[in-house]
Amino acid sequence: MTLEQLMFYGLGAVGIGSGLLVVTRRNPVMSALSLVLNFFCLAGLYLTLNAQFIAVIQIIVYAGAIMVLFLFVIMLLNLRDERALSDRLSARKIIGAGLAFGLLLQVLYILMSAADGFPQKDEALAVSTGTVEVIGVQLFTTFLFPFEITSLLLTAAIVGAVLLAKKKLD
Amino acid sequence: MVPLSHYLFLSAVLFMTGAVGVLTRRNAIIVFMSIELMLNSVNLTLVAFSSFLGNVTGQMLVFFVMTVAAAEAAVGLAIIIAIYRRKQTVNLDEINLLKW
Amino acid sequence: MVESVLQNLTYFVPETALVVTFCAVLLADVIFKGRPRIPWTIGLLGLIVAGVTAFQQTGLNRPVFDLMIVVDPFAVFFKVIVAATAILIYLMSLWSDEVKASARRMGEYAALLVSATLGMFLMAGATNLLMIVLALELTGLSSYVLSGYTKEASDSSEASLKYILFGAVSTGIMLYGISLLYGLTGATDLIGIRLALEGQAMTHTPMLLISSIMILAGFGYKISAVPFHFWTPDVYEGAPITVTAFLSVASKAAGFALMIRFLVSTATPSLGVDVMAVVQTFEWPKLIAIMSVLTMTLGNIVAIWQNNLKRLLAYSSIAHAGTMLMAVTVFSQNGVAAVLIYFVVYLFMNLGAFYLVMLVAGATGSEDIDSYKGLGHRAPLVGVSLVIFLISLTGLPPTAGFIGKLYVFSALLDAQWIWLAIVGALNSVISLYYYVRVIRNMYLRDPDSAPAPVVLTGAQTVLLMVFLVPTLVLGVYFAPLVDWAHASVALFGIR
């Protein structure tokens, strides 16, 4: 087993495991911490795919900012465990899980049947696409316009979040 | 050498794990975390394709998906705080006064 | 680089106006604290400038910013519709008790209305999957917050939560579809995707199919087509009524623009090349036909049992989306033109109905159909106008609604979709039942107790006329509208 395979299967297994923990833990703090672990696994996988820049911002943005926000809100609201409701198996849960599982099988089947036509990795090419330099150039040429729109998106989100979360009612 | 399809299988499994969370959990915050999980699996698919095709566009998309995820999380959590102030709960079963 | 950006900006004037307005409203809100009228007025002026400059773009047909978005007659048409809706909603808000109750937040309300409008402008012209997602999100985030604007009312926050949950999930599904489509084609702009699909032997068709369905789910959510409609009634009922009216027209229009552009750009035959693989391997028209039948029927049947007029209008707007989807089914210029005509008509009649519901709710404090008992005798003008709007929503002559339906059905019959046309006609009959119930309450029932009078001020009457006159005039004199719609079906890069 090469190092790459080792990393992929190791990180993949931990990623799936932590993903399952996110959706099964009753305590939201546990879920949030599992999600952080999941994000780190994904960052590792991005490295095996030679996407250094994405791996780094995965940690900075997701684990560093978004998850801190989640944890902050969980602490702020002082949430306890979800009781009663998550103990019972309801029809909705079974249907929901079954639906998702059926869809998963379908997607896996489709991916499997298409797998022959997938491209092989060109190591040199892959290394040259994921660098900060290439992404920076793209960001400020071809993707300049969406980049600017993103700033508006974030401004609107900030205005909205402040408006909704403000304590005073006026 | 790990083939592309294995990356795609992994991301499909993660996506559906997130979907199960959305469909079965009743805690609004955990539902939002499950949505983050779904968006992350999208990112994995994009990066895998981008790297195997040697095409940087996929990684650019990831950059923007992260922004979208951050903005959605901020607004979603603000809404949860607004509701919690009124009802002292984030349980979707108790929140949904409105009918389906 | 700088020159090309500047040159592109000259084709981006309406959107730039909205960006400037958005920032100006936010700044003015901070500077003139306690005087919400100032940011509010700036927002109105900005929207008018954007609407006028968008209209001046008529006739242009070119890509802007590296094919991220385009300016073509189709986009211009939808931009004008969105801008007109936004301006009318803005004026309606002047008399909305819900907005006035939180008057100190009016600046933020104005800013978010502008940013939602900007998002819809971008939706109308987006030709890159990335831009489609960003535009959907900008519109979505603004509307989530707007529908929770009156956070003191518990319905409003809940509507907002439901909206964002469904929105975020559908964005996730759509993004997954986009990631697969990108993997298959290596491109994200619609033209590039089309070229890639035309060029390669399609060994991945099931994958192409599932990715397209996932992307369509994102659009279906925006236009609240069955089975992606679950959020609609609750959000429409819980949100402030001005926001409901805005979402039911503008957001839906932008969603249709995206959906039509996506389908036409990726799934119709082009010069010299045969019908593209997506169409060959899968019958899109049939799928959309089934979706439209489900959407119409569900909207109309559930509307029968509603006692809250706002909620009734929510279900009726689902039904109208189904009617417009019927026209999309045709996949022809006539079909697209019918959607465009329908939207102009729908704008006036639907906003007019919501406007009257808002005024009556302001006077009587209730949106219940029972509170409309005897309204026709108490307030003749309001009664007669509401009757006209409801008849128009049913699609009976001599109102504009009839013209909208007429063009949809004639496009269907031209394309030999007889069974679909019959289902559509049956649905119109069902809708007659619940619209007439409201009319019957207004004229044939006596009120239970002494009701509050509904009196319109002069300015309110003028705005009512803005909705009422086109609803009547377009029913008899519609040639210019039809010409404009037919001139606007030209999409960039197609034919």
Please write down the HEC assignment for all residues of chain B.
CCCHHHHHHHHHHHHHHHHHHHHHCCEHHHHHHHHHHHHHHHHHHHHHHHHHHCCCHHHHHHHHHHHHHHHHHHHHHHHHHHHHHHHCCCEHHHHCCCCC
> Percentage of residues in chain B with pLDDT exceeding 90?
61
A52 — contact with chain B (CB < 8 Å)? no
Q: Which residue has the higher pLDDT, A126 or B8?
A: B8
Q: How far is C212 from chain A (nearest CA, A)?
A: 13
Interface test with A, best of B1, B5, B30, B62 (most A CBs within 10 A): B30
Interatomic CA distance for residues A135 and A54, integer angstroms: 9
**How confident is the model over B50-79, as a mean pLDDT?**
92
- Mean pLDDT within A24-35: 90
pLDDT of residue C427: 92
Chains contacting chain B through 3 or more C-beta pairs under 8 A: A, C
User: Of all residues in chain C, what percent carry a pLDDT higher than 70?
Assistant: 94
Q: Is the pTM of this model over 0.90?
A: yes
Chain A positions touching C137 (Cβ under 8 A) are 153
Domain range summary for chain B, segments of one domain joined by +: 4-95
ipTM above 0.90, yes or no: yes
pLDDT given for residue C281 in this prediction: 53
C-beta atoms of C130 and B60 within 8 A: yes
B38/C169 CB distance under 8 A? yes
pLDDT value of residue A80: 66
B54: closest CA of chain A, how far (Å) = 5
CB C345 within 8 A of CB C486: no
Backbone angles phi, psi at C489, to 5 degrees: -85, 0
**What string of DSSP letters covers C423-491?**
HHHHHHHHHHHHHHHHHHHHHHS--SS-PPP----HHHHHHHHHHHHHHHHHHH--HHHHHHHHHTTPP
C88's enclosing H/E stretch is: helix C73-92
Of A50, A97, A146, Cβ closest to residue B64: A146
Provide the residue type at C330 as one letter: V
Residue C169 touches partner B, C-beta closer than 8 Å: yes
The answer to whether residue C153 neighbours chain A at the CB level (below 8 Å) is no
pLDDT attached to residue B18? 93
Spans of chain C, pLDDT less than 70: 151-154, 199-204, 267-282, 450-451, 493-495
- Taking the CA of residue C317 and the nearest CA in chain A, the distance in Å comes to 26
DSSP secondary structure string for all residues of C175-198? HHHHHHHHHHHS--BHHHHHHHHH
Q: Which residues fall within 8 angstroms of residue A139, CB to CB, at 6 or more apart?
A: A147, B60, B63
CATH of A1-83, one of 3.40.50.1820, 1.20.120.1200, 1.25.40.10, 3.30.1330.10: 1.20.120.1200
Taking the domains of chain C in order of start, what are their residue ranges?
290-495
* Band of pLDDT at residue B36, cut at 50, 70 and 90: very high
Q: Which helix (H) or strand (E) holds C287?
A: helix C284-304
CB of B32 less than 8 A from some CB of C: yes
Instruction: For the domain covering B4-95, report its CATH number.
Output: 1.10.287.3510
DSSP label at residue A65: I
- Asked whether the beta carbons of C194 and C265 are under 8 A apart, the reply is yes
Nearest by CB to C206, from A110, A143, A157: name it. Answer: A110
Section A66-82 average pLDDT: 83
Interface membership of A136 toward C (CB under 8 Å): no
Neighbouring chains to C with at least 3 Cβ pairs closer than 8 Å: A, B
pLDDT digits (tens, 9 = 90+) for A95-136: 888 888 888 888 888 888 877 777 777 777 877 888 889 999
From C348's Cα to the closest Cα of chain A, the distance in A is 28
| A144 contacts on C by Cβ (under 8 Å) | 5, 65
Cβ atoms of C273 and C401 within 8 Å: the answer is: no
Q: Say how far apart CA A51 and CA A69 lie, in whole Å.
A: 26
